[in-house]
Amino acid sequence: MASLRTAVAGAAARKQVSRPGRAASAPRMGLVPSTQRLPLDEVIVGDCLAALDRLPPASVDLVFADPPYNLQLGEGSLLRPDQSAVDAVDDDWDQFASFEAYDTFTRAWLTACRRVMKPTATLWVIGSYHNIFRVGSALQDLGFWILNDIVWRKANPMPNFRGKRFTNAHETLIWASRSPQKGYTFHYEALKGGNEDLQMRSDWFIPLCTGEERLKGSDGRKVHPTQKPEALVARTLLSASNPGDVVLDPFFGTGTTGAVARRLGRRFIGIEREETYAAAARARIAAVEPLSTAALLTAPTKRAEPRVPFLSVIEAGHVRPGETLTDERRRFKALVRPDGTLAAGPATGSIHKIGALVQGFPACNGWTFWHVERAGKLVCIDDFRGTMRAGMRSA
Amino acid sequence: MASLRTAVAGAAARKQVSRPGRAASAPRMGLVPSTQRLPLDEVIVGDCLAALDRLPPASVDLVFADPPYNLQLGEGSLLRPDQSAVDAVDDDWDQFASFEAYDTFTRAWLTACRRVMKPTATLWVIGSYHNIFRVGSALQDLGFWILNDIVWRKANPMPNFRGKRFTNAHETLIWASRSPQKGYTFHYEALKGGNEDLQMRSDWFIPLCTGEERLKGSDGRKVHPTQKPEALVARTLLSASNPGDVVLDPFFGTGTTGAVARRLGRRFIGIEREETYAAAARARIAAVEPLSTAALLTAPTKRAEPRVPFLSVIEAGHVRPGETLTDERRRFKALVRPDGTLAAGPATGSIHKIGALVQGFPACNGWTFWHVERAGKLVCIDDFRGTMRAGMRSA
DNA sequence: GATTTACTTGAATCTACAG
DNA sequence: TCTGTAGATTCAAGTAAAT
C-alpha cells in the first residue's frame, strides 16, 4: 500500500509541472474558470482545495500552513492533578478515519498549494509528532525540497500531567522549496543581525500564544484551539519573504498569518472553512497597524549590490597600474596590470584567479584577499569597492 | 535482504534464555533455526535483517537505532569560507536509489526489530530531516505508538557555510512503544530529579561527540563518520530501561550503545555490517568501567547563560519595531526593525554593529549602549535581556 | 608552567548570473 | 540549456603551537 502511494504521488508530481512566465495554464480541474485576479488581503470562506483550484498558477511567494494535526486522543478527558479538565483539541476538523485518510488529505492540499506557488516560492508547514512525519514524507514524495526543519521550542509548554512521557515542549516546522531549484528568498544577513551576529539556528525559542494576543470570544473562551503565536509566524515571513510578497495560508483559522502579513507589509490570501473563524480573523486583521515603510526597508544584501569591475577601481585612481598587491600577511604578491588583471610570475588573470593560484586553492574572493599599502598600512581593495558603491548610490 | 549471512557467534557468549512462560514462536523466515540463546554483550557482524531474524521473538527491552540518513549530497565538495573541504558523509551504506528504496529498507528493519521487542519494550530512532519523516511514517504504519519526538539540540553544530539556510543545529529522535498498549518503562522521577526538579522536556541540549570521546584510528582520523555522543544515548537508556535490561542496536557502528549500556549496567546486542567498526566497538566496550548502581543518577548538565537574540526581545514585546533607540546621553539614534536589526541612516545591522558605527568605534556592546524611553525615562535594553533570561531558566 | 593564538573539525541534501 | 567565472560564505570546541 505504501509503495503504491509513493508511486502514484510521484507520478502526479511529475505530471504537474506548471510553466509560469509562459502561457498561463488552465486551472487544474478544468471545471472552474480561473480568475487571474488574486483575492488579496481577503479571507476566502470555503473548502481549501476548491479555493486553491480557483487561484491562478504560480501566483504566490510564500505558503504558511497550519493543517489539522490528526491528534488521536483517547476516550476519556485528560485531567490535571487538581482534577480540572484539559481543554483538548477534539474538533470535527481534526478527525481522520486513518493514517491513509490523513495522507490523502495531505497530498491533496500540498499538491494544490504547489500549483499556485511561484517557482521561487517556499512553503512552511507546522505540526507535531502526530502528523509531521506524514506531512514531511508527502512533501518529499511530491517533489518539494526540504530546506530545513525548524523546532519551535515552547517557553511555557503544557506539562505532561500523567508523568508517563517527556514534556512535549516543541513543535516542528518544515521549510521547503517547490523543487530542488535554487533561487528562493532567505534574509540570511538580517536574521544574523537580529541574532547577536550569529547565524540563526534551526531551534527557535518562542512563548506560546497566551494573554492579550490570544483571541477570546464574548464568553471569555478561546476562539480557536490552536492559535499560533505571531512571533513564530513573523519569523517565517521575515526570513523567507519580501515586503509586498503574496503569502498564502490555506488553513487560515483566526488569521494569525494575515495579521502578521499586514503588520509586515506583505499581502495575504487566507482560506478558511469555518465562517466563525473567518469573521474573527477579519476583525483582528482590520485592527492591525502596518509598520512604517522605513522600518520594513530591506537592506541590500552583498549579493544584491551592483557589481564593480576591478578595472573601474583602477580607472577611478584607487589603485594604479604597476602597483603591487599583497595579502593581509604579506605572504603573496601580484602586479596590477592596466586592464584590471593581475600578474603573478608568468600567470595572469582576474583578482580571484590569481588569488586562488598563489594560495593553491580552488577558489578565492580576490576583493577581500588582496591589499595595497597606503601610508604604511595595508588597505583591502574591497574598501575601494565600497567607496565606489557608496558613490553610485548617491548619484 | 537476499543475502543471508551467517552470524559470527562469539565463543564467550553468555547464555540467556528468553523469559519462560512466553511462547517461543518460529523465526520469521522459517529458514534459519531459531536459537533461543541471546547473544548478549556481543557484536554480531553481518546484515541486520538476517541477524535480527535469528533472534528469538519478544526478547529485548529497548531498541536504540541510528540508521543511515539517506543524505542526498550534491556533486561537488562543500568548501568552508577558508577553502578547506568538509568531510562529507558519502559512504556506500548511506546511498539509496530512491525514497521508495529507503522506505522498503526502513520498513524491513523496523518490522524485524518489532518482532524481537517484548510487548513492553520501546524503541528509539535518531535521524535528520533527510530521513526522519520516512522513519516516523513507517513507524506509524507498522503499528508502533509514538510516545515523544525528542530534539537533540547540538551545542556546537556545523554552520551553514553558504548562508543559504538556517544552521542545521538539531537532530530528531523518535521514542515509540511497540503498540498503543501501556506498560513501558519510563523513569519520570529520576529524570525530573536530574533536571532541577522540572519535568524533562522534549528538547535536549547536548554537545557533539568530539575530542577524547571520538574514536580515532592510528592515522588520527575518525573511525566512524557519525559517532553519536554517549550523553545522548545515556539519556535514552536511563529514561526508558532498567539495569539488567537487554538493549538492542541494529546499526551498532563503533558501539556507543554498547559502551553506554555496559557503563549503565544494561546488557546489549549489537549488529554491525562492517568488521572494521565492530572491531573498534569491541575494543572500546572492553575498556568501559561499569558504574555502581548508586552512581547511575544523571549528572546535571552544566549550562552557560543562554544567549538572547535581540529579535526575541522584540518578539516578547519589550521593544516595538519602528521604535527609536538612543544612547544614555541621547546623542545617537537608531530605528528598530522587525527582524531584530537596527537602521541608522542607510546602514543596517545588529545592535552591536550599529552601536559601533554611530560612535565611530571598532566595536560596541549594543546591549548596554542602547536605551528606549519608557515613562519619560531611559531604560537600557539589557534590562529586557535580564528579564528574558529569568524566564528562560526554566527551559 | 601559564596564557594566548592558531588551527582543525563536525550526518551538508549550501550560489548566481552572464554569455 | 549548458558552461564558465565572479565572488560570497563559519560557530563552538578541542587540540596544538607559540609566547
How far is residue A250's CA from residue A362's CA, in Å, rounded to a whole number?
Answer: 46
Residue B19 lies in a domain: no
Residue pLDDT, tens place only, A78-131: 887 788 888 888 888 887 889 999 999 999 999 999 999 999 999 999 999 999
The structural domain count of chain B equals 2
Residue A253 lies in a domain: yes
| Helix, strand or coil, per DSSP, at residue A200 | coil
Q: Which of residues 28-67 of B touch strand D (CB under 7 A)?
A: none
Give the end of a domain, one of A272, A295, A318.
A295
CA–C1' span, B70 to C13, in Å? 9
Which residue of B lies nearest to A390 if distances are taken between CA atoms? B346
Residue pLDDT, tens place only, A230-284: 999 999 999 999 999 999 999 999 999 999 999 999 999 999 999 999 999 999 9
Q: What is the DSSP string of B208-245?
A: -S-GGGS-B-TTSSBSSTTPPPHHHHHHHHHHH--TT-
Mean per-residue pLDDT of chain A: 89
Closest nucleotide (C1' vs CA) to B304 is: D12
Name the nearest CA neighbour of B89 among B232, B212, B253, B269. Answer: B253
Q: Residue by residue, what is the 3-state secondary structure of B80-145?
A: CCCCCECCCCCCHHHCCCCHHHHHHHHHHHHHHHHHHEEEEEEEEEEECCCCHHHHHHHHHHCCCE
| A262 in the same domain as A390 | no
| B259 in the same domain as B197 | yes
- Does the structure show a pLDDT above 80 at B106? yes
Chain B stretch 304-333, residues whose beta carbon is closer than 8 A to a beta carbon of chain A: 307, 309-312, 314-316, 321-322
Residue A23 lies in a domain: no
Residue B366 lies in a domain: yes
Cβ <8 Å between A170 and B203 = yes
Give the end of a domain, one of A244, A261, A295.
A295
Instruction: Quickly state the pLDDT bin for A393 (edges 50, 70, 90).
Output: confident
Mean per-residue pLDDT of chain B: 89
Judge if the beta carbon of B71 is closer than 7 A to nucleic acid strand C: yes
Cβ <8 Å between B166 and A296 = no
* Mean pLDDT calculated for residue range B76-100: 95
Residue A240 lies in a domain: yes
How far is residue A56's CA from residue B18's CA, in Å, rounded to a whole number?
Answer: 63
Residue pLDDT, tens place only, B141-191: 999 999 999 999 999 999 999 999 999 999 999 999 999 988 999 998 888
Chain A stretch 100-139, residues whose beta carbon is closer than 8 A to a beta carbon of chain B: 128-130, 132-137, 139
Closest nucleotide (C1' vs CA) to B164 is: C14
Q: Which residue is nearest to nucleotide C10 (CA to C1')?
A: B158
Supply the pLDDT for residue B193: 81
| B328 in the same domain as B197 | no
Which set of grid coordinates corresponds to residue B343?
537602521
Supply the pLDDT for residue B140: 98
| A359 in the same domain as A254 | no
* Mean pLDDT calculated for residue range B279-295: 88
- Does the structure show a pLDDT above 80 at A40? yes
* B187–chain A Cβ distance below 8 A for any pair: no
* A160–chain B Cβ distance below 8 A for any pair: yes
User: B interface mutation test: which of A102, A133, A140, A198 has the most B CBs within 10 A?
Assistant: A133
| B209 in the same domain as B138 | yes
| B178 in the same domain as B127 | yes
CA–C1' span, B210 to D12, in Å? 11
Out of B129, B172, B339, the one facing A191 most closely (by C-beta) is B339
Name the nearest CA neighbour of B119 among B186, B37, B179. Answer: B179
Judge if the beta carbon of A301 is closer than 7 A to nucleic acid strand D: yes
- Does the structure show a pLDDT above 90 at A2? no
| B289 in the same domain as B218 | yes
Supply the pLDDT for residue A392: 84
Name the nearest CA neighbour of A116 among A187, A197, A16. Answer: A16
| B328 in the same domain as B211 | no
| B335 in the same domain as B276 | no
Give the end of a domain, one of A295, A320, A352.
A295
* Mean pLDDT calculated for residue range A54-68: 97
A251 neighbors A70 (Cβ within 8 angstroms): no
**A351 secondary structure, DSSP code:** H
Judge if the beta carbon of B179 is closer than 7 A to nucleic acid strand D: no
Give pTM, 2 decimals. Answer: 0.90
Q: Please report residues of B whose CB lies closer than 8 A to that of A231.
A: 315-316
How far is residue B169's CA from residue B152's CA, in Å, rounded to a whole number?
Answer: 8
| A251 in the same domain as A119 | yes
Closest nucleotide (C1' vs CA) to A197 is: D11
| A203 in the same domain as A266 | yes
How far is residue A152's CA from residue B172's CA, in Å, rounded to a whole number?
Answer: 13
Judge if the beta carbon of B167 is closer than 7 A to nucleic acid strand C: no
The enclosing H or E element of A231 equals: helix A230-240
Out of B148, B172, B314, the one facing A165 most closely (by C-beta) is B148
Q: By percentage, how much of chain B surpasses pLDDT 70?
A: 87
Residue B195 lies in a domain: yes
Cβ <8 Å between B132 and A136 = yes
- Does the structure show a pLDDT above 70 at B387? yes
A359 neighbors A332 (Cβ within 8 angstroms): yes
B223 neighbors B63 (Cβ within 8 angstroms): no
Beta strands per DSSP E along chain A: 42-45, 60-65, 117-127, 145-154, 170-177, 203-206, 246-249, 267-272, 324-326, 333-336, 342-344, 347-349, 371-374, 377-380
Q: Which residue is nearest to nucleotide D14 (CA to C1')?
A: B211
Supply the pLDDT for residue A9: 35
Decide the pairing of beta strands B145-154 and A377-380. Answer: unpaired
- Does the structure show a pLDDT above 80 at A20? no
Which residue of A lies nearest to B73 if distances are taken between CA atoms? A180
Instruction: Quickly state the pLDDT bin for A8 (edges 50, 70, 90).
Output: very low
How far is residue A174's CA from residue A135's CA, in Å, rounded to a whole number?
Answer: 9
* Mean pLDDT calculated for residue range B216-221: 94
Which set of grid coordinates corresponds to residue B375?
515613562
- Does the structure show a pLDDT above 60 at B33? no
Residue B146 lies in a domain: yes
- Does the structure show a pLDDT above 50 at B21? no
| B263 in the same domain as B230 | yes
Name the nearest CA neighbour of A172 among A140, A148, A143, A199. Answer: A148
Supply the pLDDT for residue A5: 31
Q: Which residue is nearest to nucleotide D15 (CA to C1')?
A: B211
Judge if the beta carbon of A192 is closer than 7 A to nucleic acid strand D: yes
Name the nearest CA neighbour of A188 among B364, B160, B310. Answer: B160
* Mean pLDDT calculated for residue range A196-212: 97
CATH number of the structural domain spanning residue A146: 3.40.50.150
Residue A301 lies in a domain: no
Name the nearest CA neighbour of B199 among A204, A85, A165. Answer: A165
Supply the pLDDT for residue B195: 82
Q: Which domain does B377 fall in, by range? A: 310-394
Q: Please report residues of B whose CB lies closer than 8 A to that of A302.
A: none
* Mean pLDDT calculated for residue range A381-394: 91
Q: Please report residues of B whose CB lies closer than 8 A to that of A159.
A: 199
Instruction: Quickly state the pLDDT bin for A72 (edges 50, 70, 90).
Output: confident
Beta bridge partners of B270: B43, B249
Q: Please report residues of A whose CB lies closer than 8 A to that of B194.
A: none
Name the nearest CA neighbour of B68 among B202, B176, B217, B224. Answer: B224
